[in-house]
Structures are given as C-alpha cells and as structure tokens.
Chains A and B, each alone.
Chain A
C-alpha cells in the first residue's frame, strides 16, 4: 500500500513534534473562534476505555504507569489533533467538591470530578463499578447512579445544600465515609488526598508526554447542569424524572440552590490561564438528562440554570464544551440563545447531524461529532472513507466544525485500520475549501 497522509503525520509528529503541536493548537483555536483554518480538526475525548486496546481495562484504570504508557501509545498510533483523557469516572469526589467549593474553592482540585480505580478502593463509593472489581476485567469503569436521597428531603437540600450533601449524601453514597467523624472517615479522606496527589503527578507526566508527541492535551474545568447534579449524584435519574411531575416546584428550587455551587465549582476547576495558548480556557459540561426530557421540561427545569453557567463563564473569557448525550436535536434551538462563539457543542447522535444540528448552528456554535462509534467498530475502511467524505462534503467550507466520534469513546475492539481510515480520509478531504 502506498504511503498515506496518516503515515506522513505519524512521522512528522515524531521528528518535529513542536511544529506539529503549534499547527494543531492554531487549527483548534481558530476553529473555536469560528475562523477558517487549513482543515477540520479531529478531537478525541476519552474516559480511558479506548486505551484498553493495548492492556486489560482493569490494568489501565488501576495501574497509573500502564495508563500513561497506553495514552502515549494511542497518540503515537493515531495522530489526533487534540486529546482529552480522564483516568476514571465521576463519583463521590465531585459531590464533595460541589459541597465544599463555597468555603474552600482553593481545595477543590483535590476533589476531582472523576476517581481512578485505586480511589474507588479507598472510598468504596456506590456511584461506580470497576473492572476486576464489580465487573469483568475487560469492561470499562462505569458510572451507576443510585438513589441517595428521598423525595421528602428536597427541603433540606434547598435549605443548605452543602450541609445536606456532606452530612447525608456522602455517607450514604460512600461505604468508607458512612460513619461521619469516625477514625475510618478521617483515614479515608487522608488516603484519598494522598492518592489524588499521586494521580496528579502521573496525569501531568502523561499529558506532557502526549504533548511531546505533538498532540495538544485538553484540560478543561468541569461542571454539571444543576438538574444533572440532582439526577446523577443525589436522587437517581428515574426518581428525578418522576419528581418533575410530582413535586416540580421543589425540583426547580433545588436546581436554583445548586446553581451557585455548580458555578463556583466551574470557576474553581477551570485553569486561571489557558494551559495551551492560543487555545482559550475551557469548561467541560457533560449533559445527561437532556436527551430524556421533552422540550417543555428541558426549557423549564434544565436549561435556565445551565444557560446561566455558560453565559457567566463566557463573560469571564471561558468557552464551554458541552457533551450532549443522546439525541439533543429537540433542544438545539435553545443553543442559539447563547452569545455567538460561546463554545463547543459535541453531539452524540442527533437524528440528522447535518439538518438538525450543523445547518442550525453553523456560524454561531462550534459543532463537534459526526462519527457513529458503531460504524468504527463494525464498518470497513472503505465504508468509513465513504461516510467521512460524504460528511465533510455536506459540512462544506463553513468553519467551526470539529470531527469526532459521537459518544466520547472509541471502543477497543475498533480495528486499527478503521480508525486509520477515518483519520486518513480527514487528512485527505478535510481542508476548508473557500
């Protein structure tokens, strides 16, 4: 097979990584500013599942050295324009971070939104399931929302969210923090912080090595829509959906009570300066209940507080990056209420990516996504090339498009030649034609 653009880029990022890094940063920064650039960028965001193509999943999330090796190998094999990687999934630490941020914003970095395997062992949290622990060694770590709050407890949450979360929710959701004020409780917090320091060191090294391969690392702040905080961290998803019918006023008051904490958490976790200029400061907001809500409920209970976070952070120079799970197309028009250039909307599976999303938002919002993960898993290189070529043709010359998989993951069973076909097609046909 003749030498392909992907081969040249793999070699260039090895021989002149600094130049390639600079090109990629400029490409992504311009795209985020909705300006024309040399070609469409490919940005991949992963919770580490993609890395288990090299090692057992349980090793990737329980052994930091293996995590680092796998992350570096991934960008050596697949030359990404930007890489965002978390070595775990959301858990108790996010709940705790939201609770303490009002009084101790400077300590929130110790309470990362996600936990790693060893942090799960320390906490014995009930939010997550881990490979080699609760599920098989090849399955990815999973967030499993449970119910830690009853409907009758909304008043307590509304009255003092910090106290309610720390004294009621954290003990219920975390086995080793269940006995508030006990020696075990203090020991668990101490171990957690020590472990978090280890994770930070490894993560910093990993990201530096990825950048040394010419690949920009995206390290945004983190936040959730207040209704998702209730659904994912406190009440459970199905319970909060029922609450919207049975006690709507309380749910609304609870989202308003959580909003200031969510906003402060966003500010506290977002780096004060851009870690990689010319990229702007970014804030990651994964949406969860969005796809499940009819527009009437979305517009009343979900969007108002989420919108406030995005607009407030935008006024501080921070661009939000929304990961819109499921089919967000019924709610796309609300995005147009935001100021032009507010940030990135990553769509998992709108019914019609071009018609429902791109055509409505282009020129206003950076749109990300477009590739079904299932096509990568089960398709052929030829099918993928045809799909990507067609997608790029339909997107056209308008700037502000970032190619990515719909869901923020690439399954480890995805054949390497399929992923390479995706990138190769982008490198061949992704230039902006004006």
Chain B
C-alpha cells in the first residue's frame, strides 16, 4: 500500500523520476500490472478534481500525460508477458471536427481517457460528420467526443451532431464537445450533452456517464 501511495502522490506532484521509480518498484515487488493501470483511473479522477479546483493547468496535464505514457510503456511488457488484458470501462470515439486541424487538446483527452480505462478510437483531425457517423456504426461507442480550437469548429460540431441525429444514432451515444471556444452557448447551439475546456474535466464527466450507465441509469 505504501508503494501505491508513493506512486499516486508522486504522479499527482508531477515528479517524473519518483513516479517512474515507484512504478519499477511495484513491478519488481511482483504487483499485478493490471492493478497499477487501474490506479491510473483513480489518478485521472484526481487530476480532474485538481483542474476543477484551479490547481492544475494545461501545462500540468501535458506533463502528467508524458509521465503516464512512460508508466504505460513500463507496464505493458509485463502485462503482455503475463498474458493479461486490462478491462476497459467503455468505448469512446473522438476526433477534431471538420475544418479544424488542432490536436493538442484532443491528444490530451485521448491519453487521459485511455489511462482512465476507456477503449479510445481516435479519428484524427479535420474529421467530416459522415466519418463520425460511420465510426459510431462500426464501433458502437458509449461516448463521442468532438474537439476543436477554432470558432469555425462550433458550426462543424453542430453539423456533426445533426448528422448523427439524421442517421438515427443520437440516442445511442452521449456527446461531449471540447476546445478553446466551447461554452454553454456552444453546447446549446450544437445539441451536445456536455462541454468542457479541459481534458481532465472531460474525462471526469465521461466517467460519471459510465457510472450512471452501469448503475442502470439510461444515458
């Protein structure tokens, strides 16, 4: 337990060296690598809380992402060696909407959602509405994320939500929009279910949706 606490605390303090050392120690002590990865879901929630309290900024999320990637790289070979697979908590399709090529925010979301336990399907940037529709049909996700930095992206998000609606798929997914220009007005205009400025907060919202779904609440 001490090792786990050291690991979590070092990660939340963004202490790269301490976190990597703690990960190695846990693996050397013979801990189940799945347990280590499951701790990352807790970490993702804590990071979300810190962001909401104004204690974490994008710079912190980027650094956390770097450390989390290193942890995953350390744990993965052990996982493969033992033939274990981490159970995913839900399926999440994400892309930067058509006409927008910005991906910094999207990439942080991809990383954090993966860490939190989602099976993430990243459609890339400049994604046309039809491609979102096809991805929903193909992967049957729980949640669809639309990212975009530009003001232009707001209209693209609306067109994408409309296309999902027209395809008769709107009831099957929750939709979250994110990026520099989104707000409550954008949420209302696009018809999304939630909006966020931050990957950390976005993943918290998504985890809540999954909890609600598993608790029998319709999403």
Contact = CB atoms under 8 A, between A and B. Distances in A.
B186 A374 contact: yes
Q: Chain B, interface size: which category?
A: 20 to 34
Contacts of A407: 151, 180-181
A348 B9 CA distance: 34
Interface in A225-253: 237-238, 241-242, 244-246
B104 A237 contact: yes
B63 A245 contact: yes
B104 A377 contact: no
B152 A140 contact: yes
B99 A373 contact: no
Contacts of A379: 185
A238 B106 CA distance: 12
A282 B165 CA distance: 48
B99 A135 contact: yes
B99 A139 contact: yes
Contacts of B189: 374, 377-378
Contact of A375 (B54, B60, B185, B197): B185
Contacts of A419: none
A297 B62 CA distance: 14
A138 B181 CA distance: 18
Contacts of B66: 242
Interface in B100-154: 100-102, 104, 107, 126, 150-152, 154
A138 B150 CA distance: 13
Interface in B49-89: 54-60, 62-63, 66
B59 A292 contact: yes
A409 interface: yes
B10 interface: no
B62 A49 contact: no
Interface string B158-200: 0000000000000000000000111101101100000001000
Contacts of B126: 135-136, 139
B58 A245 contact: no
B201 interface: no
Given A374-B185, A377-B189, A325 B180 contact: yes
Contacts, number: 105
A23 interface: no
B183 A372 contact: yes
Contacts of B181: 373-374, 407
A102 interface: no
Given A241-B62, A374-B189, A411-B152, A142 B183 contact: no
A402 to B, nearest CB: 19
Contacts of A289: 59
Contacts of B100: 139, 142
A144 B66 CA distance: 21
Interface in A297-314: 297
Nearest to B99: A139
Nearest to A301: B59
Given A244-B59, A297-B59, A330 B54 contact: yes
Nearest to A295: B57
A224 B124 CA distance: 30
A161 interface: no
Interface string A320-356: 0000011100100000000000000000110000000
B155 interface: yes
A181 interface: no
A244 B63 CA distance: 9
A291 B152 contact: no
Contact of A138 (B60, B99, B154): B99
Contacts of B151: 49, 373-374, 377, 407, 409-411
A293 B150 contact: no
Contacts of A246: 16
B14 interface: yes
B16 A245 contact: yes
A142 B154 contact: no
A135, A238, A326 — which one has the most chain B CB atoms within 10 A of its CB?
A: A238
A373 B153 CA distance: 12
Contacts of B182: 374
Contacts of B102: 142, 144
Contacts of B60: 294
Contact of A49 (B59, B152, B183, B186): B152
Contacts of B183: 349, 372, 374
Contacts of B16: 245-246
A390 interface: no
B68 to A, nearest CB: 12
A413 interface: yes
A308 B154 CA distance: 37
Interface of A: 49, 129, 134-136, 138-140, 142, 144, 237-238, 241-242, 244-246, 289, 291-294, 297, 325-327, 330, 348-349, 372-375, 377-379, 407, 409-411, 413
Given A135-B101, A142-B101, A238-B107, 8 more contacts: A136-B99, A140-B150, A241-B62, A241-B63, A245-B16, A297-B59, A325-B180, A411-B152
Per CB-CB distance, the 7 closest pairs between chain A and chain B, nearest first, are: A378-B189, A139-B99, A292-B58, A374-B185, A374-B186, A294-B57, A411-B151
30 contacts: A134-B101, A139-B98, A139-B126, A142-B150, A144-B101, A144-B102, A238-B104, A241-B58, A241-B63, A242-B63, A242-B66, A244-B59, A245-B14, A245-B63, A289-B59, A292-B59, A293-B57, A293-B59, A294-B56, A330-B54, A373-B154, A374-B154, A374-B181, A375-B185, A377-B189, A378-B186, A378-B188, A407-B180, A407-B181, A413-B155
